[in-house]
A and B are shown apart, each in its own frame.
Chain A
């Protein structure tokens, strides 16, 4: 009923598969391709399709995702100005909770993969930062533009933000977290994150 197209089915958060002619394989795209191919192979693996294997499948997917997503960077950006005031222990706890939130919300959707095509639109690099643009074509012929932002770390290019149709995930959470912390407290935010994790 809302006039806008809301946050899309969340597997688009994860998948970026190379399609058609090979583009100049530069580092960020190459590394993303590796991760997504790994994830897709897990999802389409018939040996893991049975319900009894569900937890193992989830674990494998999470493992593949952990390689490419920089949870700490994402959590830090989402908490923004409130990050500095946290103790090391609180920071670690928050990163874990945030990763769990994203995991529960989006990872499950990977299993809904239905053969959607993803095409690379381009990539830009600025020193240690890169942006990879992809377009996801759903079966209903709807184009969804997705942009991944990556940063170069010791273990490769890691994703720190995803924008779907121009809506940045981290910005969205940053505003929510900021509002909650300002209106109540950081402890309340943590409590709500825990409640959300428990509900899954």
Chain B
């Protein structure tokens, strides 16, 4: 038990920044990422069957991705008032481009949220976390080839989802 706690603490020291960055990228809000980070470590501590986990870092990243998308799903269900809308994390300065940029990022995150777990994990680790295929394969317990196929399928699915969304928007505009 003590060893596991030590491992979790080591994980926090080693991958804390990376996990926080991942959560910020997926939620686009630093305050929410902070909360989810805390929740993640409480969950990790209280997880039953700790001895079964071999790769703590992979497990934590997977849990962080799930937490972030659970939060996004809850956000879709609850209506936010304008006062509660926080500024999205972005490096752009012009208000219009900032708005467009934030909208684009929200759109693609929504589309990622519609993917299945494996595809989502592979896509995020590859394209958002910028990890090499071999590392992802090791973390997911698959071959690099399988991960590549998952990413390919995920991108295709995103193309479909975002394309259909755009078509609907154009139809509404034409009317």
A and B are interacting partners? no
A interface residue numbers (CB < 8 A to B): none
